[in-house]
């Protein structure tokens, strides 16, 4: 009699809960009534009691949704001291043993499989099912205080082990749940919090409100976390520190042996930085530590994993750490050049950029995954992904996307983030309900919900000026969130575009700005690459597109390189950005004596010109018709010397490591009173005190040979010192 009623109840609940589970990722999102969860647990206990031993999987076959919702629901409120089974036995009114716990755990996993719901990686041991159950519980109530405190201050000592495992291995589901809970805590700082659109389980929101109300939890976070960024065609990999943390010290792990064969040493390097600074990561490194408040607070960020040296960034340069799935859109990948990205479908390389200076031996490519569902690195011998790094899942095809279109050309924020004229949201079809919210300066400026049967794009979200956060939430793990700088109505026209290189830097240029605040024109001299301007009360940076040149030994610069003949042999490649890669002329005495053609990657080999340049005692590298790319001269070549008080300025210096200067008074014919000083790369020499007012000076430059010493040029440079003249 009772068994028949139990089966009828489960049949009734199964239809409702199975439908609702089809709309979510975790069972906790069903928000099942606690009374119905208890009733379902009792009915499952009754049916289990009637089954013959070994037939426990029958529960998962007939009532998978009831089993998942009831067991995770009881665990959500009844988990204590590392176990949920005592609460489950009380709810089922069944005196279970260890073997019964294993039976229900196996049935739970079978039910997840039947329903197509996510699971954590398999775990051995007696409690191997607990983590799977608690994942769908969405953090048990007894663990929420420690979980919230971890989100606020980053300290994991109060985390229960199953919650820790969920955070470490739950991938997108754990990250999305944590992000929503952070938003919840942020809103609870208001006396009248607006919790609409969070789409969190009601139990979690209710408990958080109670903790804050009873003053058991302060929802104010300690600080934002630093983040890793990539500027593909500019500054490379950098660490952005939130301004709120104040002065800090960044310790870079200089053990660059990251398993890539490019290691150069071990140890640490500490840099003092100011709030809001961008710290360059100038070499492959395992990790960085950020400490502040006199060392009382510290965060460690892993950068390169020797076991999987694949760094992935979004199209706009945000780091996607291991464990997070990748979007279906284009991504930037950095990896050692002896490895190759592989996938279960063709990968299209959109563009390859030179690796950042200091990351020699690495490649930086933008990849479109196409129809692939994962990306991984091959092993160092070119083997399949199974013998190389782990697979990074691509799950963007079934989740919403925040779209921006192309950035406004040449316009960025002061910390180098792109600026857009607007945003839109693409939603997949399938009948799922999505909450779309746009927040700006802590307040909601757009909020609505959509249940599209077919894919749809939501436009006209916001047309103001400022940084906004776009949040699209549906089932946990399928959300999308993006911070975007928007300048509605802003347009910029550059003349010329791009600015070509010129002998003294860049060609002069103008930028014509138009928008809601009227029109303006900014002018740029040869040595100016950027200007700051204000639009809609927001400070922005305008950098007209321009040519740049770099080598594997010289960072990008917006002026022709000045290279020493002697260093051509050590330069592997030269790259020009901002112009189509065509033949590069080697000109001596104004005429072309050799032509260099670029490789398939747009690189020029300067070693091919070494003999020509050496024979000519220097040459100019010109991109036709007359764009100077580099001036190659013997080491120490300068166009002149200028006296600046107690210093000498060497104009247009061609510097080489080890370069020294011989300085002597013009009246010293035999050089007996000469002083030899090292020449810094910037070409400013500090005069020895006795030469500061010695009349005219004679200067010679050379790189000493370790065996024979300097080979001084016969004719010195003469600098007329405005001090008292002395006749030889």
In tens, the pLDDT along 622-639 reads 999 999 999 998 877 888
pLDDT confidence bin for 280, thresholds 50/70/90:
confident
pLDDT score recorded for residue 452: 93
Q: Pick from 271-285, 370-384, 593-607 the range whose average pLDDT is largest.
A: 593-607
Q: Which domain holds residue 442?
A: 399-535
pLDDT score recorded for residue 286: 86
pLDDT score recorded for residue 310: 93
> Across residues 3-14, what is the average pLDDT?
89
pLDDT score recorded for residue 246: 58
pLDDT score recorded for residue 161: 82
Domain contains 219: no
Q: Are 143 and 77 in contact (CB under 8 A)?
A: no
- Tell me, yes or no, whether 306 and 236 share the same domain: yes
Enter the tokens of residue 482: 């993006």
The DSSP H or E segment spanning 178 is: helix 171-187
- Tell me, yes or no, whether 581 and 654 share the same domain: no
The percentage of the chain sitting over the pLDDT mark of 70, rounded to a whole number, equals: 88
Domain contains 490: yes
In the block, tokens 């064969």 appear at 261
> Across residues 372-400, what is the average pLDDT?
73
Please give the mean pLDDT across all residues of the chain. 85
Distance separating alpha carbons of residues 598 and 576, to the nearest angstrom = 10
The DSSP H or E segment spanning 197 is: none
- Tell me, yes or no, whether 590 and 691 share the same domain: no
pLDDT confidence bin for 62, thresholds 50/70/90:
very high
- Tell me, yes or no, whether 130 and 145 share the same domain: no
pLDDT score recorded for residue 434: 92
Domain contains 20: yes
- Tell me, yes or no, whether 28 and 127 share the same domain: yes
pLDDT confidence bin for 574, thresholds 50/70/90:
very high
Which of 137, 168, 202 is the last residue before a domain boundary?
137
> Across residues 11-22, what is the average pLDDT?
93
Residue 468: pLDDT over 90: yes
Residue 727: pLDDT over 50: no
> Across residues 363-390, what is the average pLDDT?
76
Residue 350: pLDDT over 50: yes
pLDDT score recorded for residue 271: 67
Q: What is the dihedral angle through the alpha carbons of 63, 69, 70, 75, rounded to the nearest 10 degrees?
A: 140
Domain contains 542: no
Enter the tokens of residue 14: 């199964």
Q: Pick from 163-172, 340-349, 533-542, 678-687 the range whose average pLDDT is largest.
A: 533-542
- Tell me, yes or no, whether 609 and 713 share the same domain: no
Q: Pick from 56-65, 283-292, 312-321, 380-389 the range whose average pLDDT is largest.
A: 56-65
Q: Assign residue 708 a region (left: φ > 0; alpha: ψ between -120 and 50; beta: otherwise).
A: alpha
In the block, tokens 């039976």 appear at 103
- Tell me, yes or no, whether 383 and 523 share the same domain: no
Structure-model confidence comparison of residues 674 and 273, the more confident one: 674
- Tell me, yes or no, whether 128 and 159 share the same domain: no
pLDDT confidence bin for 499, thresholds 50/70/90:
very high
- Tell me, yes or no, whether 486 and 584 share the same domain: no
The percentage of the chain sitting over the pLDDT mark of 90, rounded to a whole number, equals: 39
> Across residues 15-26, what is the average pLDDT?
91
Enter the tokens of residue 273: 């930085």
Cα 651 to Cα 458, 461, 655, 662, 691, distances in angstroms: 57, 54, 11, 16, 20
pLDDT score recorded for residue 394: 84
Q: Are 171 and 159 in contact (CB under 8 A)?
A: no
CATH no. for residue 524? 2.60.40
- Tell me, yes or no, whether 231 and 363 share the same domain: yes
Residue 387: pLDDT over 70: no
- Tell me, yes or no, whether 499 and 520 share the same domain: yes
Residue 329: pLDDT over 90: no
pLDDT score recorded for residue 708: 65
pTM of the full structure: 0.73
pLDDT confidence bin for 264, thresholds 50/70/90:
very low
Domain contains 496: yes
Cα 307 to Cα 29, 235, 320, distances in angstroms: 36, 26, 17
> Across residues 427-447, what is the average pLDDT?
90
Q: Pick from 34-38, 172-176, 393-397 the range whose average pLDDT is largest.
A: 34-38
- Tell me, yes or no, whether 360 and 285 share the same domain: yes
Domain contains 728: no
Which of 122, 137, 152 is the last residue before a domain boundary?
137
Enter the tokens of residue 141: 């109530």
Cα 110 to Cα 51, 105, 132, distances in angstroms: 17, 9, 11
Q: What's the total number of domains in the chain?
A: 6
Domain contains 367: yes
| Residue 358: partners with Cβ closer than 8 Å, 6 or more residues away | 236, 282, 283
Q: Where does residue 689 rank: exposed (0-12), middle (13-18), buried (19+ CB within 10 A)?
A: exposed
Domain contains 74: yes
Which of 633, 667, 688 is the last residue before a domain boundary?
633
State whether the Cα torsion 456-461-463-469 is positive or negative: negative
């Amino acid at each position: 009699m009772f068994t028949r009623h139990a089966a009828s109840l489960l049949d009734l609940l199964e239809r409702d809960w199975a439908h609702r589970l089809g709309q979510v990722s975790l069972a906790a999102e069903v928000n099942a009534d606690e009374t119905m969860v208890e009733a379902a647990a009792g009915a499952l206990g009754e049916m289990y009691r009637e089954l013959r031993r070994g037939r426990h999987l029958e529960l998962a076959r007939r009532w998978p949704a009831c089993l998942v919702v009831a067991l995770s629901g009881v665990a959500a409120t009844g988990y204590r001291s590392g176990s949920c089974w005592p609460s489950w036995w009380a709810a089922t009114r069944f005196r279970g043993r260890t073997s019964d716990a294993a039976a229900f755990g196996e049935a739970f996993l079978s039910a997840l499989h039947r329903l197509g719901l996510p699971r954590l990686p398999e775990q051995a041991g007696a409690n191997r099912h607990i983590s799977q159950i608690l994942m769908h519980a969405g953090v048990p109530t007894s663990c929420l205080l420690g979980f919230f405190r971890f989100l606020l201050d980053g300290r994991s000592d109060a985390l229960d082990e199953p919650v820790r495992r969920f955070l470490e291995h739950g991938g997108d589901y754990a990250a999305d749940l944590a992000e929503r809970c952070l938003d919840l805590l942020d809103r609870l700082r208001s006396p009248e919090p607006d919790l609409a659109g969070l789409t969190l389980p009601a139990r979690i929101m209710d408990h958080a409100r109670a903790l804050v109300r009873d003053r058991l939890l302060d929802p104010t976070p300690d600080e934002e976390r630093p983040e890793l960024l990539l500027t593909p065609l500019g500054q490379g990999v950098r660490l952005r520190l939130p301004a709120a943390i104040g002065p800090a010290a960044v310790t870079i792990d200089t053990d660059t042996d990251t398993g890539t064969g490019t290691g150069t040493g071990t140890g640490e390097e500490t840099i003092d930085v100011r709030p809001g600074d961008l710290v360059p990561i100038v070499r492959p490194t395992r990790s960085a530590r950020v400490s502040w408040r006199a060392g009382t607070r510290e965060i460690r960020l892993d950068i390169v994993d020797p076991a999987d040296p694949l760094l992935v960034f979004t199209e706009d340069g945000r780091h996607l750490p291991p464990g997070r799935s990748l979007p279906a859109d284009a991504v930037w990948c950095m990896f050692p050049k002896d490895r190759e990205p592989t996938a279960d479908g063709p990968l299209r390389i959109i563009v390859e950029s030179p690796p950042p200076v200091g990351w020699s031996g690495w490649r930086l490519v933008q990849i479109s995954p196409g129809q692939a569902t994962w990306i991984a690195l091959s092993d160092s011998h070119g083997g399949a992904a199974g013998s190389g790094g782990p697979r990074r899942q691509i799950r963007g095809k079934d989740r919403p996307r925040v779209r921006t279109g192309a950035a406004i050309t040449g316009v960025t924020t002061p910390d180098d983030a792109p600026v857009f004229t607007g945003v839109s949201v693409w939603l997949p079809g399938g009948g799922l309900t999505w909450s779309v919210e746009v927040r700006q300066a802590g307040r909601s400026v757009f909020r609505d919900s959509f249940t599209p049967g077919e894919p749809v794009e939501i436009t006209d979200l916001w047309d103001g000026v400022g940084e906004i956060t776009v949040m699209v939430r549906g089932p946990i793990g399928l959300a999308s969130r993006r911070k975007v700088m928007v300048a509605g109505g802003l347009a910029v026209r550059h003349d010329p575009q791009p600015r070509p290189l010129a002998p003294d830097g860049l060609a002069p240029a103008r930028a014509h700005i138009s928008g809601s605040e009227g029109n303006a024109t900014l002018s740029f001299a040869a040595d100016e690459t950027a200007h700051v301007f204000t639009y809609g009360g927001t400070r922005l940076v305008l950098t007209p597109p321009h040519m740049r040149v770099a080598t594997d030994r010289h960072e990008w610069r917006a002026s022709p390189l000045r290279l020493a003949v002697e260093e051509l042999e050590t330069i592997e490649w030269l790259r020009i950005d901002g112009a189509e890669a065509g033949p590069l002329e080697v000109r001596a005495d104004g005429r072309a004596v050799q032509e260099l053609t670029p490789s398939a990657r747009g690189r020029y080999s300067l070693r091919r010109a070494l003999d020509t340049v050496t024979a000519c005692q220097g040459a100019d590298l010109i991109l036709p018709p007359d764009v100077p790319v580099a001036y190659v001269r013997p080491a120490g070549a300068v166009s002149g010397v200028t006296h600046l008080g107690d210093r000498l300025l060497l104009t247009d210096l061609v510097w080489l490591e080890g370069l020294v200067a011989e300085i002597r008074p013009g009246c010293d014919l035999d050089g007996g009173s000469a002083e030899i000083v090292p020449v810094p790369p910037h070409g400013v020499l500090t005069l020895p005190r006795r030469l500061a007012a010695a009349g005219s000076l004679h200067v010679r430059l050379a790189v000493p040979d370790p065996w024979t010493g300097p080979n001084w040029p016969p004719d010195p440079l003469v600098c007329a010192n405005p001090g008292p003249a002395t006749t030889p």
